[in-house]
């Protein structure tokens, strides 16, 4: 059923208000006036300063660092909208924190991604709009509809616009680990080029050792693709190995650049010429970092959800 453009509201928390404003600019609507503050004891207070009764509410809040603070703020905003009689509440999560804790890989550990999904549903979220989850099956952790978008078309467009990608015979897309095969294959199909894989061994949460390359990269322009980077350990280790195997040039493309100081230092000293990422999180910036905006993608997803139209075409890569 089509909904009037006047009965939906865009609310933003404190994690990435600039992205929310860019989404609002694309949709040509004003961001809903909302007060989000923190009391001296650390508690979060939220007040929606406009009427949202019967409205379709979209809350833009990537749960990036500080993850716990931003997640709790999201839950409180959802509760405020629910108690204000919002008709439907969609959590717009450009970046979904805790996504890497999606399975039990050791004894007596939690599946925190599922816990977070349960918390959102319990708070009152009725739909989720997200982008490039660490594992696609996380969609099944929610007992509500999930629209899962991809940043790949925007990253690929940047490659073509900047004439980085021209001859498919001279270009190779590389996965920095075995788990990224599906993503790298999708990029290779879209670019009609070859692909390769770097096998890695993780020493710790911040240290990674790249071990060997499967595929031909000698004399090629290489794009390493991954869903996210935080310390840049995986990317820079892969780049060293690829350079040793004769790669001509090395770039990296990630959906979520949750960059800390260690990551920026590693990138600066690495063989990676450019890190291409989206603005899904506010810390996606720094030397060698090129940011591609995804407000149009998220805004169009919001528009179609609100109007009851298909979002399927937005899922396509290439």
Could you list the active site residues?
200
The residues, ordered by sequence, that sit 6+ positions from 122 with a Cβ below 8 Å of its Cβ are: none
Quick one: which of 17, 77, 15 has its CA closest to 45?
77
Tell me how far apart the alpha carbons of residues 308 and 87 are, in angstroms, rounded to a whole number: 14
CB of 281 closer than 8 Å to CB of 62: yes
Quick one: which of 85, 64, 61, 81 has its CA closest to 73?
61
Quick one: which of 228, 217, 176, 215 has its CA closest to 199?
176
Tokens (6 digits) for 286: 């720094």
End-to-end CA distance of the chain: 30
Q: Which residue has the tokens 């399927």?
A: 312
Any idea what DSSP says for residue 177?
A: S
Tell me how far apart the alpha carbons of residues 98 and 155 are, in angstroms, rounded to a whole number: 24
The residues, ordered by sequence, that sit 6+ positions from 203 with a Cβ below 8 Å of its Cβ are: 209
């Amino acid at each position: 059923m089509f909904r009037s453009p006047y009965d939906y509201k865009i609310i933003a928390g404190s994690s990435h208000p600039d992205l929310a404003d860019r989404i609002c600019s694309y949709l040509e609507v004003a961001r809903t006036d909302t007060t989000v503050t923190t009391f001296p004891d650390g508690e979060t207070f939220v007040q929606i300063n406009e009427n949202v009764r019967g409205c379709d509410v979209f809350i833009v809040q990537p749960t990036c660092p500080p993850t716990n603070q931003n997640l709790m703020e999201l839950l409180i905003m959802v509760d405020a909208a629910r108690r204000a009689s919002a008709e439907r509440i969609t959590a717009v999560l450009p970046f979904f924190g805790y996504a890497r804790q999606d399975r039990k890989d050791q004894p007596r550990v939690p599946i925190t991604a599922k816990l977070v999904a349960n918390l959102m549903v319990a708070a009152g979220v009725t739909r989720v709009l997200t982008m490039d989850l660490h594992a696609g099956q996380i969609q099944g952790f929610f007992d509500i509809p999930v629209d899962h978008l991809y940043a790949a078309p925007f990253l690929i467009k940047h490659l073509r616009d900047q004439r980085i990608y021209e001859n498919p015979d001279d270009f190779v897309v590389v996965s920095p680990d075995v788990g990224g095969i599906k993503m790298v294959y999708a990029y290779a199909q879209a670019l009609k080029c070859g692909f390769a894989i770097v096998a890695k061994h993780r020493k710790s949460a911040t240290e990674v050792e790249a071990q060997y390359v499967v595929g031909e990269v000698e004399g090629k322009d290489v794009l390493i693709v991954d869903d996210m980077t935080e310390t840049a350990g995986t990317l820079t280790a892969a780049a060293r190995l690829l350079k040793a195997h004769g790669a001509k040039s090395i770039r990296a493309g990630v959906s979520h650049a949750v960059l800390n100081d260690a990551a920026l230092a590693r990138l600066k000293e690495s063989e990676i010429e450019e890190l291409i990422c989206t603005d899904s999180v506010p810390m996606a910036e720094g030397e060698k970092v090129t940011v591609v905006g995804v407000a149009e993608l998220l805004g169009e997803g919001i528009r179609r959800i609100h109007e009851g139209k298909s979002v399927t075409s937005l899922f396509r890569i290439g």
